[in-house]
Amino acid sequence: MTKQFGPKIAVDCITASLSPVVYGLLGANGAGKTTLMRMLCGILEPSSGEILFNGQNIIDMGPRYRNILGYLPQDFGYYPDYMAQEFLMYIAALKGIQRRAASKRSEELLNIADLSNVSGKKVKTFSGGMRQRLGIAQALLNNLKVLVLDEPTAGLDPKERVRFRNLIADFASDRIVLLSTHIVSDIEAIADKVFLMKKGIFLLQGTIPELVQKADGKV
């Protein structure tokens, strides 16, 4: 598929087939990572080509696709005066999750994200890392098959990044997870396969050992 904005080609005729593992999308700023992820989430439509989930076009699937999709953008929106638990319940309502199930799931995710002790505090009092963990929690609320994370470890300290990696590794056993970053250590720790993106194309793709082998003698 391709995405073009006027004369600029942001994503240039790329093709890939994804299965339930963790994919790392690695590239410098401006490589086209965010544009690609926004297309995978149905926010942008490709200029040409299509995205299929189990053979069905995601645009045609509409709400059925969004029901199995979790998305954390680089800057996720939140209401600063909402408490953490209240915010997750609000997002769950938007996703159509029944209140009892939403309450249970919210408590589980706050515990997983190490935010249960601040569940009654307003989001505006959170540090950047705490807000990022809340963003990850809201992305995991529904019964996902596809999880898209755009620079999810931005603003996290090393300890928080390790906690995040463990969370994603546990979560990804039967789901497609696409994680974009420019932090190589995050990709190295949890990605089963890596797409190296530059100027809108997949410059390289493969497992970590395969990519390391391609660099042998060149670095």
pLDDT digits (tens, 9 = 90+) for 192-214: 999 999 999 999 999 999 998 98
Q: What is the pLDDT averaged over residues 15-36?
A: 92
Q: In angstroms, rounded to a whole number, what is the distance separating the alpha carbons of residues 84 and 63?
A: 26
Question: Which pLDDT does position 16 carry in this prediction?
Answer: 94
Q: Where are the domains of the chain?
A: 1-68+172-219
**DSSP state string for 7-67:** TEEEE-S------SSEEEEE--TTSSHHHHHHHHTTSS--SBS--EETTEEHHHHTHHHHT
Note the residue count of the chain: 219
DSSP three-state, residue 158:
helix
CA distance 13 to 200: 8
pLDDT range class, residue 38, cuts 50, 70, 90 = very high
Residue 206 is predicted with a pLDDT of 93
CATH architecture assignment, domain 1-68+172-219: 3-Layer(aba) Sandwich (3.40)
Per-residue pLDDT tens digits for 152-205: 877 777 887 887 777 777 777 788 999 998 788 888 888 999 999 999 999 999
Per-residue confidence (pLDDT) for residue 114, from 0 to 100: 84
| pTM of the full structure | 0.86
Q: What is the mean pLDDT of the chain?
A: 89
Nearest CA to 96 among 73, 63, 56? 63
Q: Which two tokens stand for residue 6?
A: 């006027």
CA distance 114 to 134: 9
